[in-house]
Amino acid sequence: MSIVRQFVEPKIVSGSIGIHPIFTLIAMYTGFKFIGVWGLLLGPIVLIILKNIYGTIIDKGVVKSILER
C-alpha cells in the first residue's frame, strides 16, 4: 500500500496543480529533506510559486531585455 501511494500521490498532486509528476516528486522529497513532514506539503507549494514567478518574468520580457544589453 505504501509503495503504491508513493507512486500515485505525486501524479494526483501534479494533475491538480499542472506540474509534471517528476517535478512534484522532487519538490516533495526536497521539502521532506529540508523541513521534514511539513516539507512534503510545502515543497510543491514553493515549486508552484517559483514556476509562477519564472513565468511572469518570461512573459514580461525581463529576461529578454537583460540579455539584449
d(CA 48, CA 17): 8
Average pLDDT over residues 14-25: 76
- At residue 25, does pLDDT exceed 70? yes
Residue 52, exposed/middle/buried by CB under 10 A (0-12, 13-18, 19+)? exposed
d(CA 64, CA 31): 31
pLDDT value at residue 34: 92
What residue segments make up the domains of the chain, in order of their start?
A: 2-67
Residue 63: which pLDDT band, with cuts at 50, 70 and 90?
Answer: low
pTM, to two decimals: 0.62
- At residue 49, does pLDDT exceed 70? yes
d(CA 65, CA 40): 36
Residue 42, exposed/middle/buried by CB under 10 A (0-12, 13-18, 19+)? middle
Mean pLDDT for the chain overall: 79
